[in-house]
Chain A
């Protein structure tokens, strides 16, 4: 049934595709996180001058397909002579840069909404208590407010990263050779499913398991106070399962 010779032959190509998927994922996740934090603070701010523009951004991004966003950046922007003659042109004609830009802009919007939700649900008493103890505003932000919001956002943020990993498959539409593109090329050349899309599915499945496990460990670390079994005495400690989600 399955042509193992072909699988062995194609594995190194899939391996290269996996690296491209991972590079895209890590690069967009890092820039997305860096941009999402200030955007989330603006989104949750009391001032309308801050919160409305932030909401406008996340609304537009979340209301349109990522594929269309990617096409606007990669195929659309070169329509303007101004861009073709600008210093940014060498970057914007590069499919990798365009995919990274599209994924970053996209995940920033979703992540900002997640963090904004976590910020809004901060118990006021936590901040008041910290202020009453004499912590400065910066200390409150760094040591009380942010750690709490991060913990509340973590489970959803993990889902968003898995979604982002799946979204990198769209990079195959702008000539980037990541896992799905390798699968499609193998299919086009050999017209077989298990050795092309089947193998690609295994790689994505593996990545999903890897990411969910990673976030489960992070949750176990950061949300330990919510795990009823974590407070058990060491003598009766047993292997812990995933902590309860907030």
Chain B
């Protein structure tokens, strides 16, 4: 049915998942920095984080990806030629994951900010009052509760990010979509292969929803069902 191209497509899934997971890690770092900056006392940090989330969310992902990919290439080579190192090619994997991480970091900033704000101040104050250190308050009181509040938004962002990885095929990364287009061209059966990767994406989405739903139930245990929503 797939003319022997199935292993190649599944290998592409491995690349798609690596892009998605690495981008998610990068996005979480940007998101935590952004959320901390937005909640900080410094007006400069708040302005920088505000500009970051506003501008990123006002532009299409694909445009941002092209800007980072081509713009990064030009800037990097201006730098390396000035240093006398010669021409460097920007790795499509690096460009793709950095861009996706940067873009989804803006969305996660909002998720994490909301999650931190959702914890009543009294919780941390009570921790300090019974003599916990700052580190203990963060580790044992704020973080576990923040995770609970962040999971629904985090799940949504992960699902959107997973689908956005399809765009890396446009900047030349050899992901599942790119593999499907190669197989389509070779077999002249584009529907078969694009439908196949559609089904695979749907499967990954379903597994993600189930897994993150289970995680949500786990971190929400001890919270009344009504409040857990």
Partner-B contacts on A (CB < 8 A): 59-60, 62-69, 71-72, 75-80, 166-167, 169-170, 172-173, 180, 183-184, 187, 191, 193, 197-198, 200-201, 204-205, 208-209
Contacts of A193 in B (CB 8 A): 67, 70-71, 74
The size class of the interface chain B forms with chain A is: 35 or more
Decide yes or no: A200 and B189 within 8 Å by CB, A60-B202, A68-B197, A68-B201 being known contacts. no
* Further contacts, 13 of them, CB under 8 A, given A64-B198, A172-B62, A173-B170: A64-B205, A68-B194, A69-B198, A72-B190, A75-B191, A79-B189, A79-B192, A166-B61, A180-B62, A193-B70, A193-B74, A200-B63, A205-B55
B167 within 8 A of A: yes
- With both beta carbons as reference points, the residue of chain B lying nearest to A70 in the complex is identified as B194
Of A167, A184, A191, which contacts B60 at CB under 8 A?
A167
With most chain B CB atoms within 10 A of its CB, the pick from A59, A63, A169 is A63
Contacts of A75 in B (CB 8 A): 181, 184, 190-191, 194
By the criterion CB–CB under 8 Å, are A79 and B63 in contact? no
7 interchain residue pairs of minimum CB distance: A76-B191, A65-B166, A63-B205, A166-B60, A169-B60, A208-B58, A65-B163
Partner-A contacts on B (CB < 8 A): 55, 58-63, 66-67, 70-71, 74, 159, 163-167, 169-170, 177, 180-181, 184, 188-192, 194-195, 197-198, 201-202, 205-206
Of A166, A173, A187, A205, which contacts B70 at CB under 8 A?
A187
By the criterion CB–CB under 8 Å, are B195 and A65 in contact? no
Contacts of A180 in B (CB 8 A): 60, 62-63, 66
| B203 vs chain A, min Cβ distance (A) | 9
| B61 vs chain A, min Cβ distance (A) | 7
Of A67, A77, A80, A204, which contacts B167 at CB under 8 A?
A67
By the criterion CB–CB under 8 Å, are B163 and A66 in contact? yes
Contacts of A62 in B (CB 8 A): 159
- Please measure, in the bound complex, the distance between the C-alpha atom of A198 and the C-alpha atom of B61, giving whole angstroms: 14
Contacts of B177 in A (CB 8 A): 65, 67-68, 71
| B215 vs chain A, min Cβ distance (A) | 19
By the criterion CB–CB under 8 Å, are B70 and A72 in contact? no
Of B55, B59, B166, which contacts A68 at CB under 8 A?
B166
| A99 vs chain B, min Cβ distance (A) | 14
Decide yes or no: A201 and B59 within 8 Å by CB, A63-B202, A72-B198, A80-B191 being known contacts. yes
Contacts of B194 in A (CB 8 A): 68, 71-72, 75-76
